[in-house]
C-alpha cells in the first residue's frame, strides 16, 4: 500500500523569497507545524502525522527514521510507522510544545524537566548524542507526559549544551516565584536568536 507515499507526493512545496511554502496538499492532511527542515501534517482521522522535508533537505528523512528506530522502546519518543524518500510517519502528539506552554502560560514543572532528562539519558544509553533540544521540540502532552520530537541530529558527534542551558534557565529564573510564567512569543524568539547567534558563537570562539 502506497498510502503514505501518495500523501507525501500530494504535498507541493515551492520557494517564495527563498522561503519554502506549501501550495497544495491532499484533503486528508492538515498542516500542524513547520520547522527549519520540514512541514508537518496531521493525517485526518488518524493519530499520526507525516513530516515532509523540504526538497533540498529530503535526505534527513532517512537519518531521522534511523534515530527513531533506536529509541522506539523509550516512552518519551513517538512511534515511527514509515519512512520514505522525503518523509516519515510518526505518532501525532496531542499537547503543547514547551514554547507554547511558555507563551500560553501553561506551567512547566520540575517533574517534567526530570522526565526530559530521563528521555535524553535513555537515548544516550543507546549510543545517541541528543542535540537540537529546544523549546519547540519538546511536548507536554494532555496526559502530562513528555514527548521529544525532531531527533534527526541525535547521531551528530558535536557536543550540544542546549538542553543544559535551558535547564539552567529553568532553575535560575522560571522556577522563582517572581518570574512571569507567560511570556510574549517575540521575547522568546528574541532570546533564542541571541542565544543562537551571539552566546553560542562566543562559546565556540572562546
> Residue 200 CB, nearest distance to ligand ADP (Å)?
17
Contacting residues for 61 by C-beta, under 8 A, at least 6 apart = 51, 53, 83, 84, 85, 86, 87, 88
DSSP letter for each residue of 135-188 = GGGEEEETTS-EEE---GGGG--S---HHHHHHHHIIIIITSTTS-S---HHHH
Site string for ligand ADP, 68-107 (x = CB under 6 A): ----------x-----------xxxx---x----------
Among 40, 116, 133, 146, binds ligand ADP (CB under 6 A): 40
Nearest CA to 122 out of 47, 70, 193, 165 is that of 70
Nearer to ligand ADP, 135 or 206 (CB): 135
Q: Shortest Cβ distance from residue 186 to ligand ADP (Å)?
A: 17
For the CB of residue 92, give the shortest distance to ligand ADP in the complex, in Å.
5
Indicate which single residue of 150, 152, 166, 170 sits in contact with Mg ion (rule: CB under 5 A): 150
The H or E element that residue 72 is part of is none
d(CA 98, CA 2) in angstroms, rounded, equals 34
- Could you say whether residue 35 binds Mg ion (CB under 5 A)? yes
| Sole binder of ligand ADP in the list 81, 118, 129, 136 (CB under 6 A) | 136
Residues 71-130 touching Mg ion, rule: CB under 5 A, are none
Question: How many whole angstroms separate alpha carbon 154 and alpha carbon 128?
Answer: 6
Neighbouring CB atoms inside 10 A of 69's CB total 10
C-alpha span between 175 and 80 (Å, rounded): 34
Q: Would residue 132 show up in a list of annotated catalytic residues for this protein?
A: yes
Whether the CB-CB separation of 28 and 73 falls below 8 Å is answered with no
Stretch that binds ligand ADP, among 8-16, 37-45, 114-122, 192-200 (CB under 6 A): 37-45
Listed in sequence order, the residues at least 6 apart from 30 whose beta carbon sits closer than 8 Å to its beta carbon are 41, 42, 44
Residue among 45, 132, 150, 164 flagged as catalytic: 132
Shorter beta-carbon distance to ligand ADP: residue 44 or 172: 44
* 195 lines the binding site for ligand ADP (CB under 6 A): no
Contact footprint for Mg ion (CB under 5 A): 35, 137, 150
- Which residues are tagged catalytic? 132
The residues binding ligand ADP (CB under 6 A) are: 32-38, 40, 49, 51, 78, 90-93, 97, 136-137, 149-150
Amino acid at each position: 500500500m502506497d498510502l503514505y507515499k501518495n500523501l507525501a507526493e500530494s504535498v507541493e512545496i515551492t520557494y517564495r523569497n527563498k522561503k519554502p511554502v506549501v501550495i497544495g496538499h491532499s484533503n486528508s492532511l492538515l498542516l500542524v507545524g513547520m520547522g527549519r527542515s520540514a512541514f508537518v501534517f496531521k493525517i485526518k482521522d488518524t493519530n499520526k502525522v507525516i513530516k515532509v522535508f523540504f526538497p533540498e533537505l529530503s535526505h534527513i528523512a532517512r537519518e531521522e527514521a534511523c534515530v527513531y528506530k533506536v529509541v522506539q522502546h523509550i516512552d518519551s519518543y513517538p512511534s515511527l510507522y514509515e519512512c520514505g524518500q522525503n518523509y516519515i510517519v510518526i505518532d501525532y502528539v496531542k499537547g503543547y510544545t514547551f514554547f507554547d506552554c511558555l507563551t500560553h502560560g501553561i506551567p512547566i514543572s520540575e517533574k517534567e524537566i526530570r522526565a526530559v532528562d530521563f528521555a535524553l539519558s535513555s537515548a544516550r544509553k543507546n549510543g545517541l548524542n541528543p542535540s537540537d533540544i529546544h523549546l519547540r521540540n519538546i511536548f507536554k502532552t494532555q496526559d502530562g507526559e513528555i514527548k521529544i520530537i525532531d531527533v534527526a541530529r541525535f547521531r551528530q558527534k558535536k557536543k550540544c549544551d542546549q538542553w543544559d542551558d535551558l535547564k539552567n534557565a529553568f532553575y535560575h529564573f522560571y522556577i522563582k516565584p517572581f518570574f512571569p510564567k507567560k511570556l510574549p512569543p517575540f521575547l522568546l524568539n528574541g532570546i533564542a536568536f541571541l542565544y543562537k547567534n551571539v552566546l553560542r558563537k562566543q562559546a565556540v570562539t572562546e
